[in-house]
A and B are shown apart, each in its own frame.
Chain A
Amino acid sequence: MPAVQETVDQVRRIDVDQYKFGFETLIESDKAPKGLSEDTIRFISAKKNEPDWMLAWRLEAYRRWLTMREPTWARVNYPKIDYQSYYYYAAPKKKALTSLDEVDPEILRTYEKLGIPLREQEILAGVEKADGTRSRVAVDAVFDSVSVATTFKEELKKAGVIFMPISEAIREHPELVKKYLGSVVPVTDNFFATLNSAVFSDGSFVYVPEGVRCPMELSTYFRINEKNTGQFERTLIIADKGGYVSYLEGCTAPMRDENQLHAAVVELVALENAEIKYSTVQNWYPGDAQGRGGIFNFVTKRGDCRGKNSKISWTQVETGSAITWKYPSCILRGDNSRGEFYSIAISNGHQQVDSGTKMLHLGKNTTSRIISKGIAAGKSNNTYRGRVFAHQKAKGARNFTNCDSLLIGDQCGAHTVPYIEAKNSSTIFEHEATTSKISEDMLFYCRQRGMSAEEATALVVNGFVKDVLQQLPMEFAVEAQKLISISLEGSVG
């Protein structure tokens, strides 16, 4: 078997091929004209019943975007993107399946390996029930109760947590959205963020009021309410003074996704004593064995530790996408604030990953920690790119960075590009990086005890990424571990 991520390989037929043949299944009324223009943006805004200020905001971003150029500094190669050849508001409608029997058996095998309950598999594979409601199936499957979603909603409401699609928040909580949207990732931040600002489809909005500890992992809730948010996701999470929230984006199981270009923006704001934990598992379609197709993932994620003693923690497991361009960052503005970044980036086949983080120390006694584990297999290239910066006024800034790369096979590349900039003497920055292959001794030890080459590799790799896995919310850590094994299938032996 060629070095392909089996996890997501199965999506090939339904996914990219269908994409290649166009969007014939689209519902006409929901379709904006192909290409990007002010009209497209007006169309999107009108579709979402947005207030005028939001439209003006989008248009301003669009005009700005026209003057910007696509960044080329990342170590990724892809054919030039023709931005006029995409649909910006017409998330392709998925072909409705009526039972699991119609689902590709490959997908089912993967689910089985991940240990996902049967009913949950249905929603992941996009099976629709006769009444056309998908979420209901999931609710049944996962929680065995029709009313769980409502229970959750009520529980959140009781706590005062606002959690809704951002398009709703724009209408219902304009004061919060106006105050925070674009305050961490400015409209003009970078090419992809500006594009997102102009055309963002939907995403989540979370507001945790003062002193509230969000009563549940928002992940769980998110999973059952997952709707097709389209390719330009916009997420805004605010934890007010003393608030705490843990949010999980994505899912360990493969989601079908027909959009090739993704440019998401995630903004986190942590005020005094607040903490936000943001975890991501991304395993979108990485392209076929020859490197054709696959998703381009250009994401801007940034957290702002605005208040004293605030904390933002990013955890990511990246196994999918043909191109990943992603640098979840922390602006450590408040004194004593803390930023964390834990990452596992696995690339196989022809995947190209250029990911890392930025820790900008601006406040006094700010601390940050970066643990990045890159695993390159097949013909992939895996780059860690990070920046740690201490401002002259950031007395006592402290950073520890550890980025390790593992190479599996002799046709892949692993690269490390850290920028470490200290502008005052009380800063202590430590950085270490290693690159090596899996120890023959370890493999031999495992093989000798009767494990197959693949099992042995998976075991060693899981040991390699343990530090990061531990940071994931409990229920996902187990799935992620299996996901890693599956991602690397076909890369050894």
Chain B
Amino acid sequence: MTADLRTIKTPAEQALHDAYAEARANLPGKGALAKLREDAFRHFDATGLPHRRIEEWKYTDLRALMRDAKPLAGAPDEAAKARAKNAGSMVAGLDCRRLVFVDGVFAPELSDLSSEQGLTVGSMADALAKGDPLVTAYVGKTIETDDAIVALNTALMGDGIVIRISAGATLRRPILIDFASSIQPSSIFLRSLIVIEKGGKALIVENHDANASQINAALELVVGEGAEVDYVKIARGQTIHVGTLMASVGAQAKFNTFNFTLGGATVRNQNLVRFDGQGTVSGIRGATLLRAKEHADNTLLIDHAAGACESREQFRSVLDGESSGVFQGKIIVRPHAQKTDAKMSSNALLISDDAEADNKPELEIFADDVQCGHGATAGALDENQKFYLMARGIPEKEADALLIQAFVGEVIDMIAHEGVRDALLNAAAEWLAARD
């Protein structure tokens, strides 16, 4: 019966089907990589866009939200590149190595490619075309998932960044991967691979700024034993943005991620993280600020496959207007992952009567000697705190802003890098100032 239903494709699914058929011959990668695409596409074609009947997509019905699929992005023109070069972003002031993508294509001329010991940077399209052994070793293999959106990404992956940080190397500056798009709405399929070898240290910031495109970005992140990696992803004012982080984390590593979502019509961040070695300490965090009819969904799948790891999942969202914020977090503790310590919390602040917060924190535990928990709250601003401030002569609007800022600030404060932290705090403050 399911098969019968699937024969009718939505316009978006049909467009994606046609786009793949047309682009197939020209997509980079041969042999095993081409087969990987083909298999992934067949999987996507059979399941279609995820919809509310798919448990993991219960609150983000992409099939309904994605009325059409834009044409695949072509090569960017000079005007687009010029715009990208001068584009400001909330992390513009950061002292970093900036790597620029325009319409989903790597722009080496706009990027800082100065050499640094232990760092190799390249484009995914090149690596796929050349059959780079690093890419063939990892792409599509970091985390197993049957998610249709990841399959679609694998089928249509165009460009993205390939970074390798050698064993023991510590990057001097953070890496900023800046994704800019032209005004023309298009479909962009980004696939990146970052491999940090044993003992490597890096801070990587991924920035997606406002645009009208439909973006499907997937990043495979391999964190080696004892590596220290911070990864921050910023998505501001996206139209349709589906991002998937697939990370496998080695033993004794320190691994932190942060998803900052500032507005966006439909944003979905999926973090699939697996702990493969013991003794890792990890923080998976995020903050979301939405207004109007915006919708953002943070979905986590944290797989404690090895014991004695500590993970903290903390997500906060501020929901104004008729926006809806979703948090779904699943912690799995495998049978032998004893001594796991996992704590997840999700807090939603509804500052408008029409906003909606959906929380689904899940625990799936198969080992007994563990400490696991989750907490979730949804509610309005605390009237007592507001009264306290207003009694001291602070106008209501300002009092609200102070409290909201404190609410999201608490989780943004967990970002270790001062520059990034301040940039995000400022962006949150600006967002609040623009609130009427």
Contact = CB atoms under 8 A, between A and B. Distances in A.
Best-surrounded residue of A405, A424, A428 (most CB of chain B within 10 A): A424
B357 A422 contact: yes
B323 to A, nearest CB: 11
Contacts of B351: 425
Nearest to A412: B368
Contact of A429 (B338, B364, B373, B378): B378
B274 to A, nearest CB: 18
Contact of B364 (A407, A415, A427, A436): A415
B362 A417 contact: yes
Given A410-B338, A412-B368, A435-B370, A428 B379 contact: yes
Given A409-B368, A435-B372, A437-B368, A420 B359 contact: yes
Q: Is the interface of B mostly helix, strand, loop or mixed?
A: strand
Contacts of A410: 335, 338, 367-369
A414 B367 CA distance: 9
A410 B368 CA distance: 5
B350 A415 contact: no
Given A415-B363, A422-B348, A423-B356, A431 B371 contact: no
A421 B59 CA distance: 10
B370 A421 contact: no
Contacts of A429: 359, 376-379
A417 B374 contact: no
Given A422-B379, A434-B372, A436-B372, 7 more contacts: A414-B363, A418-B376, A419-B359, A422-B350, A427-B378, A434-B371, A437-B369
Nearest to B59: A421
B141 interface: no
Nearest to A410: B368
A435 B373 CA distance: 6
A431 B350 contact: no
Given A416-B374, A422-B378, A434-B373, A427 B350 contact: yes
A426 interface: yes
B55 interface: yes
A432 B346 CA distance: 10
B33 interface: no
Nearest to A377: B368
Interface residues of A, number: 34
Q: Which size bracket describes the interface of B in this complex?
A: 35 or more
A433 B348 CA distance: 17
A392 interface: yes
A426 B380 contact: yes
A432 B55 CA distance: 22
18 contacts: A407-B367, A410-B335, A410-B367, A412-B368, A413-B364, A413-B366, A415-B365, A417-B360, A420-B360, A421-B357, A421-B359, A425-B355, A427-B378, A427-B379, A429-B359, A432-B374, A433-B375, A435-B365
Contacts of B338: 410
B430 interface: no
Nearest to B361: A418
A424 B378 CA distance: 10
Contacts of B47: none
Interface in A410-468: 410-437
A311 B377 CA distance: 24
Nearest to B332: A415
B13 to A, nearest CB: 24
A415 B362 contact: yes
A73 interface: yes
B56 interface: no
B239 interface: no
B358 interface: yes
A315 to B, nearest CB: 24
B358 A419 contact: yes
A280 B361 CA distance: 28
A426 B353 contact: yes
A408 interface: yes
A432 B348 contact: no
Nearest to A398: B379
A419 B367 CA distance: 24
Contact of B361 (A412, A421, A424, A431): A431
Contacts of B362: 415-418
B237 to A, nearest CB: 24
A433 B376 CA distance: 9
Best-surrounded residue of B369, B371, B378 (most CB of chain A within 10 A): B378
Given A425-B353, A427-B350, A73 B373 contact: no
A432 B267 CA distance: 27
A433 B373 contact: yes
A383 to B, nearest CB: 9
Interface string B277-294: 000000000000000000
A435 B365 CA distance: 8
